[in-house]
Structure 1
Amino acid sequence: MDEIPTTVKNKELVEKRRVQIVLSAIKLFSRNGFHKTTLRDLSEEAGFSYGNIYDYVGSKEDIFYLIHNYLCDLVFEELQRATENIDDPLEKLRRMVRAEFNVMDRWSDGILLLYQEGHILSPPFLQNFLKKEHEHIAMFERVISECVQKGFLRGCNPKLAANLIKTTVDGWVLKRWDLRGSASSQEAEKFILDMILFGLLPKKLDRRSAFISEMNPLSGKRALVVGGEKAIGAASIQAVTAAGASVFAVVNDKGYMDPHHDLNWGGNVKCFKSSEYGPLGQTLFSRIEKESGPFDIYIHDLGAGVPHEPVLVEKDSEVDNKFRILEENLQSAHDIAQHLIKLMPQRPWSRLIYIAPWAWDVSLNEIGFYSALAGTVALAGSLSRKLYSSRVNVNCIIPGYIKAPRPFDWWNSNHTEVNPESYGELSDVTNSILFLLGDKSRNLTNQVIKVACGNIQPLQGVLELC
């Protein structure tokens, strides 16, 4: 506290009076706000005359700085007391977290005040403020380094770990408006300790954590899947949901739909049926975005899907209708792409995957199929270039002849040149999707993955162009 001048020579008296001012200031600043509280208010609350307060401080900034010093000294004392005569570094870390949490909980009003009004400090005070914060973090850093050296914690960046631990503890204060009444201080302290130590255990002891991470690689992410009525679209929803993501599915239940699934994917999927919400366009897209919040994954299946009855596709009108569906799907994807160009830069590391029409669609209308296939690849390529600087990955999957729940006899009779042994599985497509959504492909964009396309003579020309 020597940085602040005083006219009183008795140091013990100065310290005593300044503590009175600090305690009064924490109370009034928290209740009335820093800017609305006057020095006269503080002198009255502290119990001495207005003129007398200037013997110990010159401004409210001085008082703010004194509050920081006072709380820092309390924390340092608690941390030193908690680790006295403790040799085990892991036990030191446990005790330090508890001590830090106890101070934060007891002095939450003052801590919150420092976060809210720290910008008011002038450069000299701010430099001292930050110096003490560095000293504070360094105490944790030294103990974490000792734990790593002795093998109690896995190798990590001690400074990063120390800062994140401190931030986690401070979260009890910063989020108290939401947590009070939902958790006790004892419960929060235990949870923070368990979370920190479990996350820092050596890898050989952290098998459960690794298993959970492997089983739920998309946990906490939100996905929008367009084309849930199709075999590949439905399989994509199941795969992404199983990987831990929350899914919003757009389903055209007025058109062709695989009769082997009933759209019941479970509670982690919200389904938007065209019979209830209309076709996918800017209006429906904006509604989904508003309801879901920002999403991290966008999957669009542009295939035609599976007709309810195989005999219908033999009729010219139905064939033409199939062609129109491919055109409409591509046009819809183009329309939504304009919105994605504006939206996705706000979500770095998000992933967009376009699924081209699968090989079965070539028999329904060859020209329409090749046009839609080339259009899908071109759309993905164009978006990938536009979104590359925003760290948004855009890729395309071209499915070959994939075993659907029932590849109809009509299709099989029109593809006698295709060896059934070359048919792919739906899991081949979904595995490719999960790879493109995972961390191992974070730097892959503008890629075209061909699934089960190795023995498809009618498609070789367009596949080579892709």
Structure 2
Amino acid sequence: MKKEIPSMVKDWQLIKKRREQLIEAAVQLMIVKGYHGTTTREIARAAGFSIGTLYEYIETKEDVLYLVCEHIHADVEEQLQAIISDIPAGKAGLEQAIRQFITMMDQMSDQVLLIYQESKALPKEMLRYVLAKELCITKIFETFIQRVAMEGSLPITAETIPLMAHNIVVLGQMWAFRRWALRKQYSLESYIQEQTHFLIRSILVQEVD
């Protein structure tokens, strides 16, 4: 689900090209200066066209932020789908999926942090679309965990599958949000190991109970 952003231009190939240019420029600027510290004139200049041309492809500065958030979420979703599709269900597969997701969050830390710091500036309707994309990413893990449960190597109950999916996504994002503190005590590798152990152990404890 995505919101359509109005454009004065009717050539969709050109719209796609120009918006890719402005998204790339906006991401780089907003990572450094934040949403409020970045002007549309700066975005247009960095994208290689005039401010007038920029407003042929969007209506407001909020449109740019929405396109940035949608682009980052789409990138995460595409990469996660690729990861999951190559991993067999089972305990080892779940551990591998967690590892690769947290590694991806490390590689995309600046972009992930950008969404969560700046998306609050979006109008309510746009923010609903952004939050819905977040749930789509969690749903990918939920579907994979259902496969793991059916495979039978871990005692995962139907009731805990959605919560576990949320836990994995949040623990991955936490590395991006709190890396400034976590890196004082953990390397990326040790963080992955500890969090994976924590998640798997929480499943095994349920079996004992």
| Distance in 2, Cα, partners of 1:32 & 1:131 | 26
Paired residue for 2:36? 35
1:76 equivalenced with 2:77 (yes/no): yes
Q: Relative to total residues, which structure has the larger helix share, 1 or 2? A: 2
| Distance in 1, Cα, partners of 2:68 & 2:56 | 17
Paired residue for 1:117? 118
1:189 equivalenced with 2:189 (yes/no): no
| Distance in 1, Cα, partners of 2:188 & 2:18 | 31
Contact 2:69 2:115 in 1 (8 A): yes
Paired residue for 2:166? 163
| Distance in 1, Cα, partners of 2:52 & 2:195 | 46
CA spacing shift, 1:96–1:4, aligned 2, 3 Å: farther
Paired residue for 2:203? 200
Contact 1:75 1:100 in 2 (8 A): no
Deviations 1:412-441 (A, max 9, x none): xxxxxxxxxxxxxxxxxxxxxxxxxxxxxx
SS of residue paired to 1:110: helix
Q: Which residue identity lines up with residue 138 of structure 1 in the other structure?
A: K
| Distance in 2, Cα, partners of 1:192 & 1:15 | 39
Paired residue for 2:149? 148
Paired residue for 2:49? 48
CA spacing shift, 1:42–1:85, aligned 2, 3 Å: closer
1:63 equivalenced with 2:73 (yes/no): no
1:107 equivalenced with 2:108 (yes/no): yes
SS of residue paired to 2:128: helix
Moved more, 179-188 or 36-45: 179-188
Instruction: Provide the aligned C-alpha RMSD in A.
Output: 2.4
Contact 2:89 2:151 in 1 (8 A): no
Contact 1:111 1:173 in 2 (8 A): yes
Moved more, 39-48 or 123-132: 123-132
| Distance in 2, Cα, partners of 1:81 & 1:91 | 17
| Distance in 2, Cα, partners of 1:122 & 1:192 | 35
CA spacing shift, 1:14–1:192, aligned 2, 3 Å: farther
| Distance in 1, Cα, partners of 2:206 & 2:199 | 14
Contact 2:141 2:165 in 1 (8 A): yes
Report how many aligned residue pairs link the two structures. Answer: 206
Contact 1:22 1:67 in 2 (8 A): yes
Q: Which residue identity lines up with residue 188 of structure 2 in the other structure?
A: S
| Distance in 1, Cα, partners of 2:34 & 2:146 | 40
Q: Greater relative contact order: 1 or 2 (C-alpha under 8 angstroms, separation 6 or more)? A: 2
Q: Which residue identity lines up with residue 177 of structure 2 in the other structure?
A: L
CA spacing shift, 1:57–1:189, aligned 2, 3 Å: farther
Q: 2:178 aligns with which of 168, 175, 179?
A: 175
Q: How does 1:288-299 map to 2 (within 5 A)?
A: none
Deviations 1:383-415 (A, max 9, x none): xxxxxxxxxxxxxxxxxxxxxxxxxxxxxxxxx
Give the unaligned 5+ runs of structure 1.
Answer: 211-466
Tell me by how many angstroms 1:163 deviates.
0.9
| Distance in 2, Cα, partners of 1:16 & 1:201 | 49
SS of residue paired to 2:75: helix
CA spacing shift, 1:153–1:74, aligned 2, 3 Å: same
Deviations 1:223-250 (A, max 9, x none): xxxxxxxxxxxxxxxxxxxxxxxxxxxx
Contact 1:20 1:46 in 2 (8 A): yes
| Distance in 2, Cα, partners of 1:102 & 1:18 | 28
Contact 2:44 2:50 in 1 (8 A): yes
CA spacing shift, 1:104–1:33, aligned 2, 3 Å: same
CA spacing shift, 1:100–1:59, aligned 2, 3 Å: farther
Contact 2:84 2:144 in 1 (8 A): no
Contact 2:90 2:148 in 1 (8 A): yes
SS of residue paired to 2:72: helix
Give the unaligned 5+ runs of structure 2.
Answer: none
| Distance in 2, Cα, partners of 1:2 & 1:171 | 27
TM-score in terms of structure 2 length: 0.85
Q: Relative to total residues, which structure has the larger strand share, 1 or 2? A: 1
Tell me by how many angstroms 1:187 deviates.
3.5
TM-score in terms of structure 1 length: 0.41
| Distance in 1, Cα, partners of 2:48 & 2:104 | 26
* Percent identical residues: 32
Tell me by how many angstroms 1:180 deviates.
3.5
Tell me by how many angstroms 1:92 deviates.
4.3
Contact 1:14 1:56 in 2 (8 A): yes
Paired residue for 2:6? 5
Paired residue for 1:136? 137
| Distance in 1, Cα, partners of 2:7 & 2:180 | 38
| Distance in 1, Cα, partners of 2:187 & 2:87 | 28
Q: Which residue identity lines up with residue 151 of structure 1 in the other structure?
A: G
CA spacing shift, 1:35–1:145, aligned 2, 3 Å: same
Tell me by how many angstroms 1:113 deviates.
1.7
Runs of 4+ deviating beyond 4 Å? none
CA spacing shift, 1:89–1:71, aligned 2, 3 Å: farther
